[in-house]
């Protein structure tokens, strides 16, 4: 069965500004879309929930709606704005970029990330990596003009949206992890057309990039029987990324199933079996500790929740040009829906690892 994902909605979702701590615009758009086919609700932390089905088990799907970003920390006398990083930046990526910040009245203010040019860099400065405190944003405005429009603490992102490189390759900032929030919603949309017993709760979690914080609160709230987190993972199919350290992960070869202590083996085996039955190629990634994803905190919520992690292979993570293959995205959606149908009526006890 072929399933066309909703590309227009995905591109719109990617264009929203949503760093950890201000996921409002991205979450609102996600909720608006979810309301077309699901019951939608939110919590005081900012997580958004969309659910379909009334039976059991309760299957929680988590995709974090936040992205790495920037905050206004200090505006100097000449209107140069110094930044607090939101999430894990390589500051080299910021040099020379254009940025857009959310203003007090919900508008957007554009600026450029400045740094002195190579002409005046001292030899030792050329040798070492730039630090974020050496960078500033130039909005072309005075200090007063800036503070009229931006509060200290205003959030911004790099000024890039999504675009198709080829028919299947999508490049964008914020694919980590808007693509996961998208996958869980698309899975819910597809499941809603013909729901089984399973009660599927898709969650657009917040604040993943600063410590998996929305997964902690939302998993407690949903109290699911089983859970799947959807995130991106580092692909190793481009220069400089060592396969011997990470494994063999490539774009276009299917969604990635993580295996390791963070993953419930019963769910893992079931996902692999279903993939085979459905003719979906998957890749396996060995992660020998808690994964750096929502799956980590979901698994150790309450008395423990059987959890799995499905990842979309991604190149150039935490840059404005994160790249994924939409065939992997579509396969991830199909795999999750088939899983939801297969576990229909199964009890949590059946997921005991031994």
Nearer to Zn ion, 195 or 211 (CB): 211
Show the binding pattern over residues 247-286: x = contacts Zn ion (CB under 5 A), - = does not.
----------------------------------------
For Zn ion, which stretch binds (CB under 5 A), given 78-86, 111-119, 229-237, 239-247? 229-237
Provide the minimum distance between the beta carbon of 176 and Zn ion in the complex, in angstroms, as a whole number: 4
Longest CA span, the chain:
68
Query: Which is it for the CA torsion 282, 283, 284, 290, positive or negative?
Result: negative
For Zn ion, which stretch binds (CB under 5 A), given 135-143, 156-164, 230-238, 336-344? 230-238
Q: What is the DSSP string of 178-200?
A: HHHHHHHHHHHHHHHTS--S-EE
CA distance 256 to 311: 5
Show the binding pattern over residues 174-213: x = contacts Zn ion (CB under 5 A), - = does not.
--xx------------------------------------
Residues contacting residue 244 through CB under 8 Å, at least 6 positions apart: none
Provide the minimum distance between the beta carbon of 3 and Zn ion in the complex, in angstroms, as a whole number: 24
Provide the minimum distance between the beta carbon of 220 and Zn ion in the complex, in angstroms, as a whole number: 20
Provide the minimum distance between the beta carbon of 119 and Zn ion in the complex, in angstroms, as a whole number: 38
Provide the minimum distance between the beta carbon of 186 and Zn ion in the complex, in angstroms, as a whole number: 17
Count CA atoms closer than 13 A to 236's CA, side-chain side.
13
- The residues assigned a catalytic role are 208
- How do beta strands 98-102 and 108-114 pair? antiparallel
In the window 231-250, what residues touch Zn ion (CB under 5 A)?
231
Nearer to Zn ion, 176 or 225 (CB): 176
Provide the minimum distance between the beta carbon of 208 and Zn ion in the complex, in angstroms, as a whole number: 6
Nearer to Zn ion, 57 or 63 (CB): 63
Nearer to Zn ion, 23 or 176 (CB): 176
Give the containing element (helix H, strand E) for 49: strand 48-52
Nearer to Zn ion, 97 or 311 (CB): 311
Contact indicator for 214, 347 with CB cutoff of 8 Å: no
Residues contacting residue 127 through CB under 8 Å, at least 6 positions apart: none
33 binds Zn ion (CB under 5 A): no
Q: What is the DSSP string of 115-174?
A: ---GGG--HHHHHS---GGG-EEE-SS-HHHHHHH--TT-EEEES---EESSSSEEEES-
Count CA atoms closer than 13 A to 185's CA, side-chain side.
33
Number of residues that bind Zn ion (CB under 5 A): 3
Show the binding pattern over residues 43-72: x = contacts Zn ion (CB under 5 A), - = does not.
------------------------------
Closest CA to 3 of 342, 340, 334: 334
Nearer to Zn ion, 318 or 348 (CB): 318
Provide the minimum distance between the beta carbon of 278 and Zn ion in the complex, in angstroms, as a whole number: 25
Three-state DSSP class for 114? Answer: strand
Q: In what order do the strands lie in the sheet with 169-172?
A: 163-164, 169-172, 322-325
φ, ψ for residue 115 (rounded to 5)? -155, 150
Report which residue's Cβ sits closest to Zn ion. 177
In the window 73-132, what residues touch Zn ion (CB under 5 A)?
none
Nearer to Zn ion, 109 or 297 (CB): 297
CA distance 255 to 275: 10
In the window 151-180, what residues touch Zn ion (CB under 5 A)?
176-177
Q: In what order do the strands lie in the sheet with 283-286?
A: 39-42, 48-52, 199-205, 58-64, 226-234, 307-314, 256-259, 283-286
* Residues within the interface to Zn ion (CB under 5 A): 176-177, 231
């Amino acid at each position: 069965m072929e399933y066309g994902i909703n590309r227009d909605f995905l591109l719109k979702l990617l264009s929203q500004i949503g760093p950890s701590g201000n996921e409002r615009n991205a979450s609102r758009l996600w909720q608006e879309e979810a309301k077309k086919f699901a019951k939608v609700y939110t919590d005081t932390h900012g997580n958004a929930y969309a659910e379909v089905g009334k039976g059991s088990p309760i299957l929680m799907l988590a995709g974090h709606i936040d992205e790495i970003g920037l905050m206004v920390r200090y505006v100097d006398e000449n209107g140069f704005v110094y930044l607090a990083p939101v999430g894990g930046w390589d500051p080299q990526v910021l040099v020379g970029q254009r940025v857009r910040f959310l203003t007090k009245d919900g508008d957007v203010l554009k600026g450029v990330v400045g740094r002195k040019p190579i002409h005046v860099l001292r030899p030792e400065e050329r040798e070492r990596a730039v630090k974020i405190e050496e960078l500033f944003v130039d909005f072309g405005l005075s200090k007063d003009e800036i503070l009229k429009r931006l509060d200290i603490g205003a959030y911004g992102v790099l000024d890039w949206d999504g675009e198709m490189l080829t028919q299947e390759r999508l490049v964008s900032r914020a694919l980590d992890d808007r693509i996961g929030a998208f996958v869980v919603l698309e899975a819910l949309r597809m499941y809603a057309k013909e729901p089984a017993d399973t009660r599927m709760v898709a969650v657009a979690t917040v604040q993943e990039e600063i410590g998996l914080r929305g997964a902690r609160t939302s998993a407690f709230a949903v109290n699911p029987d089983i859970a799947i987190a959807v995130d991106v993972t580092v692909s190793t199919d481009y220069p400089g990324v060592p396969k011997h350290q990470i494994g063999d992960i490539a774009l276009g070869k299917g969604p990635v199933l993580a295996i390791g202590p963070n993953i419930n083996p019963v769910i893992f085996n079931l996902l692999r079996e279903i993939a085979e039955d459905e003719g979906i190629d998957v890749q396996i990634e060995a992660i020998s500790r808690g994964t750096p994803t929502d799956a980590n905190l979901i698994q150790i919520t309450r008395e423990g929740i059987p959890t799995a992690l499905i990842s979309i292979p991604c190149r150039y993570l935490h840059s404005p040009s994160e790249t994924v293959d939409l065939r992997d995205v579509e396969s991830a959606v199909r795999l999750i829906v088939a899983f939801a149908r297969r576990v229909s009526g199964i009890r949590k006890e059946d997921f005991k690892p031994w």
